[in-house]
């Protein structure tokens, strides 16, 4: 089963796994060999707007102004980062291991965890 609303972001987890974020507030992990959804991650209170992979974590940004960190083995949310005052629109990681987020609040934040 696919998302219930438009897909807004994609990232590759591994050679056989794809991660999608949607306006239905969820993240889905897909097995690219069987083309089946492995699991659905729910926790955001708004559209998922951005995704990135950070070591063994999926990082998601949302219009709910939060960044969630998901463990790729347990599929559980292990942390929520707050600090933006508007929608998170982009995420990337720096070579030194920090996370960078961009928001509609016209700021860029650098996170170390």
pLDDT of residue 25: 98
End-to-end CA separation in angstroms for the chain: 34
Would you say 104 and 87 are in contact if contact means Cβ atoms under 8 Å apart? yes
Q: For the chain, percent helix, then strand, then coil, each to nearest 5?
A: 0, 60, 40
Tens digits of residue pLDDT in 39-81: 999 999 999 999 999 888 999 999 999 999 999 999 999 999 9
pTM (two decimals): 0.93
Range 7-111 has CATH code 2.130.10.10? yes
Domain ranges of the chain: 7-111
């Amino acid at each position: 089963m696919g998302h219930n609303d438009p897909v807004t972001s994609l990232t590759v987890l591994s050679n056989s796994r794809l991660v999608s974020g949607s306006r239905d507030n969820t993240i889905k992990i897909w097995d690219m060999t069987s083309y089946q959804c492995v699991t659905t991650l729910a926790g955001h209170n708004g559209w998922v707007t951005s995704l990135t992979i950070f070591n063994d974590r999926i990082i998601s940004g949302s219009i709910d102004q939060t960044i969630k960190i998901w463990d790729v083995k347990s599929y559980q949310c292990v942390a929520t980062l707050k600090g933006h005052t508007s929608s998170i629109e982009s995420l990337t990681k720096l070579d030194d291991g920090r996370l960078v987020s961009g928001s509609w609040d016209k700021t860029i934040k650098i996170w170390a965890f």
